[in-house]
Amino acid sequence: MTKASRGGSFVIQGGHPVSGTIAPCGNKNEALPLVAAALLVPGRVQIDSVPRIRDVEMLVDAVRGLGPSAEFSNNRSIIIDATALHEVRPDPQLASEIRGSFLLAAPLLTRRGQAVLPRPGGDKIGRRRLDTHLAALRQLGARIDLVGDAYHLALDGRFRAAEVFLDEASVTGTETAIMAAVTATGTTRILNAACEPHVQGLCRALNTMGARIHGTGSNVLDIVGVDGLRPARHRLSPDPH
């Protein structure tokens, strides 16, 4: 039995057996790119084992503001239907508070040809620049301008395949490049790619949606662009930490 006491501490009395089961949620760092990747599909994407934490809920709110429906269910799943994606500028206040908001760039460019994203905020664990993301998107055909405190991105038609060398093995930079390349014209090779479990989870989910990603789990990814992705269901992998 645990009782809260004054002064921000707890008093714990031992000698009481505990039992029961809990269902741990999936990897938060896989959930964020999956929420963004759902915008690539003009249809329903279900993500299971989603952690109901602030960053995830804020990104989901930002997605709703772009037109898609996004509903949590009681079994820790979320169903996103991005058929009605019509906006290109997520709510600036929401988007500026979480770094994961920049993951919306490639899906918005793919579906709408434009995106307006504020400088992302989020945690303060050190220098976490966007150069890698921006360079990858430019190499794949996007135009990017910084206007005030917002990035204005544009794409004519589809992304164009290229050999993309990431100047650092950035996880979100790799995820951005992957989401841009899956529907690009031609075959893209991503060198110095991050290969963390959550990057692998994104690759597996996109392949379920119809993408053709080869080399998952390595630092070199070969991605054959497809004309479009289809609805799918994906369960997040466990949090490795």
Please identify every residue annotated as catalytic: 123
The β-bridge relationship of strands 150-154 and 114-118 is antiparallel
Long-range contacts of range 91-94, CB-CB < 8 Å, 24 or more positions apart? 91/61, 91/62, 91/65, 92/118, 92/150, 94/58, 94/59, 94/61, 94/62, 94/65
Contact 148, 124 (CB under 8 A): no
Q: Are strands 220-224 and 212-214 parallel, antiparallel or unpaired?
A: antiparallel
Q: Could you give the C-alpha distances from 69 to 43, 153, 189, in angstroms and in order?
A: 10, 24, 33
The HSE-up count of residue 133 (CA atoms within 13 Å, CB side) is: 23
**Helical residues (DSSP H) of 89-218, grouped into ranges:** 92-97, 105-112, 131-139, 171-181, 197-208
Contact 100, 172 (CB under 8 A): yes
